[in-house]
Chains A and B, each alone.
Chain A
Amino acid sequence: NAGVTQTPKFRILKIGQSMTLQCAQDMNHNYMYWYRQDPGMGLKLIYYSVGAGITDKGEVPNGYNVSRSTTEDFPLRLELAAPSQTSVYFCASSHEGRGYSPLHFGNGTRLTVT
């Protein structure tokens, strides 16, 4: 089973460029999430989705956008990249809401904005 697949694994952007981080899961999970992890810090929630067509903001949504047209895919869009968005981005999914259902994470996308 592939689980949660993220692409690309690495990316370098110039300030002001845009890009889309791709995330796909094959577990038929309704809930999907985007987190960012900065060095020495825990994970911070950017956006989440409770099902196709439904998305909501997390703790740090500014500078990002998401869409959820299918159950499987949950892309994250950066419109005007800034150095503060240099981070490792993780996509995750879960069977149910975040209460007791474990999160299944992808292997991350390491983004550098220069």
Chain B
Amino acid sequence: TQLLEQSPQFLSIQEGENLTVYCNSSSVFSSLQWYRQEPGEGPVLLVTVVTGGEVKKLKRLTFQFGDARKDSSLHITAAQPGDTGLYLCAGVNNAGNMLTFGGGTRLMVKP
């Protein structure tokens, strides 16, 4: 079983601060997806990273896939209250037939 560990589990910051969320594993993934989940709703895909070392930007969010495709990070610049939510990473195994979710990072951005 491939495991994905996310850190930190909880993060509470003030509006305008920067933050980084980590997603780590000892296993290699063919690709990695990041989702955001708001209370009472299902997760919504933010981005998929495929190539080792790949960096993708989505407005103030920057996603990076590790060179060895075992880890990923999400950096948010100048966080806003609208960024509040549960951030989940999910890794796809090399066979492309199994998606493993991390435990999530719950982010609260205070105005």
Please report A residues at the B interface, Cβ cutoff 8 Å: 4, 35, 40-45, 59, 90, 92, 97-100, 102-103, 105-108
State whether A42 touches B48 (Cβ < 8 A).
Answer: no
Interchain Cβ contacts under 8 Å between A and B, 19 examples: A35-B101, A40-B103, A40-B104, A41-B104, A43-B88, A45-B99, A90-B43, A97-B97, A99-B31, A100-B48, A100-B50, A100-B92, A102-B33, A103-B33, A105-B42, A106-B42, A107-B42, A108-B40, A108-B41
B20 interfacial contact with A, CB 8 Å: no
Residue on B nearest A35 in the bound complex, by CB: B101
Q: Which residue of the partner chain, among B50, B88, B92, B104, contacts A98 with CB atoms under 8 Å?
A: B92
- What is the bound-complex CA distance between A41 and B1, given in angstroms? 16
B9 interfacial contact with A, CB 8 Å: yes
Q: Which residue of the partner chain, among A42, A97, A99, A105, contacts B103 with CB atoms under 8 Å?
A: A42
State whether B48 touches A102 (Cβ < 8 A).
Answer: yes
Given contacts A98-B92, A102-B48, contact A107 B103 (CB under 8 A): no
Residues of A within 8 A of B68 (CB): none
State whether B99 touches A98 (Cβ < 8 A).
Answer: yes
Given contacts A98-B99, A99-B92, contact A92 B42 (CB under 8 A): yes
Main secondary structure of the interface of B (DSSP, over half): loop
B82 interfacial contact with A, CB 8 Å: no
B78 interfacial contact with A, CB 8 Å: no
Name the interface residues of B54-111: CB closer than 8 Å to any CB of A. 88, 90, 92, 96-99, 101-104
State whether A42 touches B92 (Cβ < 8 A).
Answer: no
B30 interfacial contact with A, CB 8 Å: yes
Residue on B nearest A6 in the bound complex, by CB: B42
Given contacts A102-B33, A105-B44, A108-B41, contact A42 B99 (CB under 8 A): no
